[in-house]
Amino acid sequence: MEQTPFFSDSNRLRLFSGSANDFLAREVARYLGMDLGPMIRKRFADGELYIQIQESIRGADVYLLQPCCNPVNDNLMELMIMIDACRRASARQITPVIPYYGYARADRKTAGRESITAKLVANLLTEAGASRVLAMDLHSAQIQGYFDIPTDHVYGSPAILNYLSTKNLDDIVVVSPDVGGVARARAFAKKLNDAPLAIIDKRRQAHNVAEVMNVIGDVKGKTAILVDDMIDTAGTLAAGGKLLKKEGAKEIYACATHAVFSDPAVSRLSSGVFKEVIVTNTIPIADDKKFKQLTVLSVANLLGEAIWRIHEASSVSSMFR
């Protein structure tokens, strides 16, 4: 993606970074041709967080980049404090840029007396003072409707698709790891020259535990690309990969936007089932979570372009046509 030419109104645009993914924030700032805004961040002895913006943002359009990754509660609270600080400093518009939206998996009630945490987080961000939200690859599309403020939803798939196009893979079949991800896999397959689609039928026994039953579709002798929004413990993907290999897939690639990588994800992903595991840098990946088959792609240009288009009141959806 070519860098957008920037104009004089950029002096009203401010970008600040939380502590969750400072490296990605610096890449976004570089794409926008600006520096990250100065900010003091420290903790009191009891763990309470203190934040102070170190420049005037009165009348400015402020963008706060902070994924709600591990430690989720700390990073979410830090984001809300940043929003509150900007609101009290008379920012004109405050937009949290959330590469990874935490608490998104509880997006509906599946049993009695459950919390819908995806909606709760939306309420918290709105009440803290957010004017609009920019999020990447939400766990489910309906989360956009949980906000009563404008919400821009962007995708990490262009970065993954561009990378796959350089590998000259042949005889591709795109595989959804479960029925719930069919729409995502279908859209991914369409971008890969309308590649055929397969679905893994699974039955989940408990949270983070999945039992794979069978494959719907033809994968024998093909290059299978498993597509998901996130990889947490990798139970679903690892079981799906083993089943695809059993069904005769030639090579298996795993692709996801968010590399949560909770234990024992690394051991499952590096077990030899996958030719390559392709993720993006929405969540920082510690050195001890990296392995030979892992490829990490940057989504900084996608986020930077979306920020600029929001600031210029131009179309964000046209980025993905």
Cα-flanking dihedrals φ and ψ of residue 170, to 5°? -120, 160
Secondary structure class of 228 (helix, strand, coil) = strand
Report the C-alpha dihedral over residues 301, 307, 308, 310, rounded to 10 degrees. 140
Residue 279 near residue 294, CB atoms below 8 Å: yes
- How is residue 131 written in tokens? 């004017």
Pairing of strands 61-65, 39-43: unpaired
119 CB-near residues (< 8 Å, 6+ apart): 107, 146
267 CB-near residues (< 8 Å, 6+ apart): none
SS (H, E, C) 28-52: HHHHHCCCCCCEEEEECCCCCEEEE
Q: Looking up tokens 């595989």, which residue turns up?
A: 175
Report the C-alpha dihedral over residues 36, 320, 236, 290, rounded to 10 degrees. -40
Among candidate residues 99, 98, 116, the one with its CA nearest the CA of residue 107: 116
Residues annotated as catalytic are 202
Cα 279 to Cα 129: distance, rounded to the nearest angstrom: 32
Among candidate residues 40, 37, 108, 30, the one with its CA nearest the CA of residue 78: 40
